[in-house]
Amino acid sequence: MYATTITSDTASDALLLTPPQAAKKLAISVRSLYSLFSSGKIKPVKIGRSTRIAASDLSAYVNGLRVAAKS
């Protein structure tokens, strides 16, 4: 049996993003992204020594901002 490798040419299709990619998607600095990590608003995924952010977590964060803005 061979494992299927999921590859993506663009960050928009990626399951996990690097901090610079995630910051770019949110239109914030990488430093601001790390502040969101520290505050617990976005949880990073650690793979070995690498830090990644699930694209679904970014969407959930943005959707949470929309709900807060409506209140």
Kindly report the pTM of this predicted structure.
Answer: 0.76
Residue 53 phi, psi dihedral angles, 5° rounding = -130, 130
pLDDT-derived band at 66, boundaries 50, 70, 90: confident
In the chain, the amino acid numbered 57 is D
What pLDDT was estimated at residue 67? 78
Domains and CATH numbers, the chain: 15-70 (1.10.1660.10)
pLDDT-derived band at 22, boundaries 50, 70, 90: very high
What pLDDT was estimated at residue 3? 53
> How large is the C-alpha radius of gyration of the chain?
14
What pLDDT was estimated at residue 68? 73
